[in-house]
Structure 1
Amino acid sequence: MAGEFDGLVAAVTGGASGIGAAIALRLMADGARVAVLDRDVSNPPEGALAVQADVTDDASVRAAVDRVLQEWDRLDVLVNNAGIGAQGTVADNPDDEWHRVLDVNLLGMVRVTRAALPALRKSPSAAIVNTGSIAATAGIPQRAVYSASKGAVHALTRAMAADHLAEGIRVCAVAPGTADTPWVGRLLERADDPAAERAALEARQPHGRLVSAEEVAGAVAYLASPHSTSTTGIVLAVDGGMQELRLRPKG
């Protein structure tokens, strides 16, 4: 429904590129005023308020949220989308890499949510949407630290939903399958045979292709919508059926 976010303010972390930028554009198209919080805001989505922020730095996060409130004096929707990828088994990554990934993918959401809660409590349409991953629920090779971080995001989402429902704040998550993002693009570029690697990633998903950023943005818009008032505490898969379907092999 066009205009369903009219009058509302949203903040999207990691919103300057990839899935975050698609989310920002979708929310603006539906009427929201949107701030994108990112480390690099040199090329933000057109029409968004660009706010420099590092989710690993509490002072930076609080300053960014304050900037949004100075601009619009409210915050209704928070999309915790900032995240980083990582490869390897448990034996491949040292403690420093585990700390780095968890600091961004998990504690980053904690910091931003903590800073935004006072404003969200004042909103009549408060919603938080966290970006999880199919890697949280499907065992994917060479993704140990990443999968662990996203599994924690899914658990955190349900705990936050329980904690803040009585305050009028809904909390959900979206779990993309392998998405056509800049990070996946960089992985493909480093592969010995990028075309074969892309074909393998596409074949892994039952619908036979990568998930688009716009498809994820559509799911986020539904979860954050003021019309979705009975939807909270869920993780919505946008994965072409990878989580639930078990199709017979072709041929």
Structure 2
Amino acid sequence: MRRGSPDLSALLPLCLLGCLAPSLVSSISVNSPAEVHASKGDTVSLYCSFTSTSRPTSRMTVDWSYRPQNGGLPQTFFHFASRPYPPKDGQFAGRVQWQGSPANGEVSISLINATLNDNGTFTCSVRNPPDVHGSPTSHTVLTVTPKASSIRFTDVAVLMVFILLPSAVITLVLIGRMFCSKERNQSKAYRSPIEITEGEEYSMYPSGAKIKSATCCDIYVMDSDDEDEYYSVKQRPPTDDGFVESQC
């Protein structure tokens, strides 16, 4: 070996380090919640974020796939490459909305009107060349349950205002009329015969009543001079010419 020539044994480690350096630096990590629970009919947010050593470019792609709960192969239903491509047919047609922002490391989607058939595993996959190593996928198990029926406070309030309240008012009015009618009847039934009402205090007879005139059978015709002897005459009328008893 000539003096001054490089030692090949010293260059070999440097070459290996240079070859492995991209794999150690260029990596990507995708994260999503392990489980998501929702009720039937809800809009479900399927969160997914990523971190990459390279800035996202137009070459970055995102894929969402679904594997049913009862088993089977995963099927890709959503794709992103510079713009979102939602599904046009199949189980999720018209029900997926893009909620991502790749520049901020966000690649989430929303599932509208969740059904019991949506139970299964959703997988989020991100590719951002040259970051091709690391953990480019993440899985989320979605569980959709029937929505429990419940009565809202507003429903109860409307029921009370439009049904119970008018019924209560009508009941109170009817009870009040019954008591008033009862008191009026009792007042008429227990009125004293010597009770004097307004308009009767100056007259012995009720207004409009006819006064019966005395007949000849009810009176005696007396001479004015014999008026003092009335009571004695009443016992036995005299036969004098100055006193005449009616014989009617």
Question: Is the TM value for this pair above 0.5?
Answer: no
| TM-score (structure 1 length as normaliser) | 0.19
* More strand, by proportion: 2
Higher helix share: 1
Query: Bigger radius of gyration, 1 or 2?
Result: 2
